Amino acid sequence: MQDSRTGATKYEDSLAELRGEFLQRYGSIPQIFRAPGRVNLIGEHTDYNDGFVMPAAIQFYAHVAVAPQKAQRIRVHSRNFAESTEFTLTENGGAPRGHWSDYIRGVTGVLKAQGINVSGADLMIHSEVPVGSGLSSSAAIEVATALALLALAGGTLTRIEIARACQRAEHEYVGSMCGIMDQFIACFAQAGRVVMLDCRSLTYELLPTTEDVRIVICNTGVKHAHASSGYNRRRADCFAGVSTMRAHGMPTIQALRDVSSASLEGCKGHLPELVYRRCRHVVTENERVRAAANALRVRDMDTFGRLMYESHMSLQNDYEVSCRELDLMVDIAHTVPGVYGARMTGGGFGGCTVNLVRIDAVERFIATIKREYAHRTSTSADVYVCFAAQGAGAVEEPRD
C-alpha cells in the first residue's frame, strides 16, 4: 500500500490479521481481493451527464477475503462494522434496505442476472477507505466483491463489464443513481497516473502526476449519504434541463455533455432558474475538465489550481452540494502559500476536499488546516497525503 519498507510491513501485517480472523471465523484460508478508493481532481457531477472527469485511485483499499462453502448462501462479515449477515442465493433480491450489505447483495444479484454461476461463499470485508467521505468506499467494496465472487465462480467479465455491473448494483440495490466514474477508476487505475475519462464512450487518457506536487485530502468529518442527500434530485434536474432544451431548439442533444455554455445561455429563458443553475454547473464543469487536462499535459499547475477553485464555487453556488465545513476548508487552503488549488470532491454535502500542494509546502499546509479548522469548528480534521495508486486486483500471497 505504501512505498516505504515500514508501510509495506504494516500492510502485510494487516493482511495477515485479515487471513487469521477469516480462518478463525470460517475455518478456511481465503483468497483476498482489493479495490481502491478514489479522489476526483476535477469534474464533479458530470459523470451521469455523459461528461468528463479526472479521478485518480488512492492508496486506501477495500479488501474482500473469500472462500467457497457448500451451502447456497453468502455469509459476510464486516470488520469495520463488527457485524455479520447472510442471505441465500435465491433470496438476495429486493429493494434497498439502507444497510452496508446492500452492496454485497447487489453485486451478487447483478452477477447472477448476467449469467455468472455465483456459488456459496464466505466473505470478510475490511476497508481502509473512510466511509461517507466522498472517497468512493462503496465502489471499492463493490469491485472487490465482484472480483472475489467471479474468482470462485470461474466467471470471466471484462473490466468494463465489471464496472457496469457494480454501477447497476448501486442503482438497483442501494438506490443511488451514480455515474460510472467510481467503479471505472477502481477497475482501470494505474499507479502514478490520473485518468481523463469520457463517461459516454468510456475512452480515457492516462496523464502523469507531477513529482513536485502532492494530492492532499482533508476530511471534514461531516458524513453524507447519496441516496438521501439530494444526489438523485440533482440528477433529475439535469435530465429535466435536457428534456426542456430538446423541446426548444436542441432536438439532437442526448445529455448535458452535448451542451455548450453559449447554447445553454440561449435556452435560459425556457428553463426554471434552479434547473438552469444545475445545468450551468455541469456544462461549465465539463469545460473546466478539458482545460485542466490541457494544463496538466504542459505542467501548468497554476492554471489547474485556478480551475479547481472555480469548480468549487460552481458546486457551492450553482449545484449547491457543498456545506459550511467544505467551504471553510477551501477558504483556509486559499491562504496557504504553495497550494495550487482546492475544491470539494465527491458527491458533496460533507466529505472531503482535494488539494494540490507543492511538496515543500505540505507540512505547512497540514498544520494550517488542522489548526484553523479546529479553531473555527471545534472539530479535528483528518488529513491524508496521497499518491495515485494501482487499481483493483488479487492480493498476492506472502512469499517465504
Instruction: Name the grid cell of 369.
Output: 488546516
Residues 6+ apart with CB under 8 A from 393: 33, 34, 147
Residues 181, 345: contact at Cβ < 8 Å?
no
> What is the C-alpha to C-alpha distance for residues 52 and 181, in angstroms, rounded to an integer?
9
Residues 133, 386: contact at Cβ < 8 Å?
no
> What is the C-alpha to C-alpha distance for residues 310 and 147, in angstroms, rounded to an integer?
38
Encode 352-371: b = buried (16+ Cβ within 10 Å), e = exposed. Answer: bbbbbbbeebbeebbebbbe
> What is the C-alpha to C-alpha distance for residues 345 and 343, in angstroms, rounded to an integer?
6
Amino acid identity of residue 39, one-letter, is V
Active-site residue identified among 182, 237, 258, 318: 182
Concerning whether 182 is annotated as a catalytic residue, the answer is yes
Instruction: Report the catalytic residues.
Output: 182
